[in-house]
Amino acid sequence: MSDASLISAVVIAIVAYVYLTIIRPARKEQAHHRREMRDLRPGDRVITTANILARVIDIEVQESGPAHIRLEIADGVIVTAMPGAIYRKLEPEAAKAAEQSQGSPSTDSGRSSA
């Protein structure tokens, strides 16, 4: 095997490794996020990229450009976000658990008694 064919094989192996470990999983994640954003409905619970739990109030589809999603982050506090600001949709069970943990203040201050 000549040096040129060995170098070619190494380059092909590196390109395949990068594709399989970085590019392909990122594309799958992007496609999953697009499907989740397409399937959002008013009333769905979401978590934003800033780790804010919110409820979808309205989705305004623009003629040009991305949609605007109105989110209620607290009673009467409504913000407008872009689809990229939403990390993921919470499943009903996870949304209930998040609401319960948000509603009940923690008695532990996070400090040890030692």
Same domain, 48 and 61: yes
Positive or negative torsion for Cα 23, 24, 30, 33 = negative
Residues 67 and 60 sit within 8 Å (Cβ to Cβ): yes
Same domain, 34 and 45: no
For 38-80, how does the pLDDT look when each residue is reduced to its tens digit (9 = 90+)?
889 999 999 999 999 999 999 998 888 888 999 999 999 999 9
With residue 75 as reference, give the H or E element that holds it: none
**Residue 34: which pLDDT band, with cuts at 50, 70 and 90?**
confident
Tokens 């780790």 identify what position?
A: 51
Q: Which of 4, 64, 67, 1 is nearest to 34 (CA)?
A: 67
How many folded domains does the chain comprise?
2
pLDDT at 33 over 60: yes
Same domain, 34 and 63: no
For 2-19, how does the pLDDT look when each residue is reduced to its tens digit (9 = 90+)?
888 999 999 999 999 999
In sequence order, the β-bridge partners of residue 57 are: none
Residues 83 and 36 sit within 8 Å (Cβ to Cβ): no
Domain containing 96 — which CATH number? 2.30.30.30
pLDDT at 95 over 80: no
Look up residue 14 and give its amino acid: I
Instruction: Let me know if residue 108 belongs to a domain.
Output: no
Provide the pairing of β-strand 68-74 with 77-81.
antiparallel
- Give the least confident one: 1-5, 20-24, 45-49, 92-96: 92-96
**Residue 106: which pLDDT band, with cuts at 50, 70 and 90?**
very low
- 98 lies in which domain range? 41-103
Q: What average pLDDT does the segment 23-44 reach?
A: 91
Structure tokens at 93: 């069970």
Same domain, 68 and 86: yes
**Residue 31: which pLDDT band, with cuts at 50, 70 and 90?**
very high
What phi, psi does 33 have (nearest 5°)? -65, -45
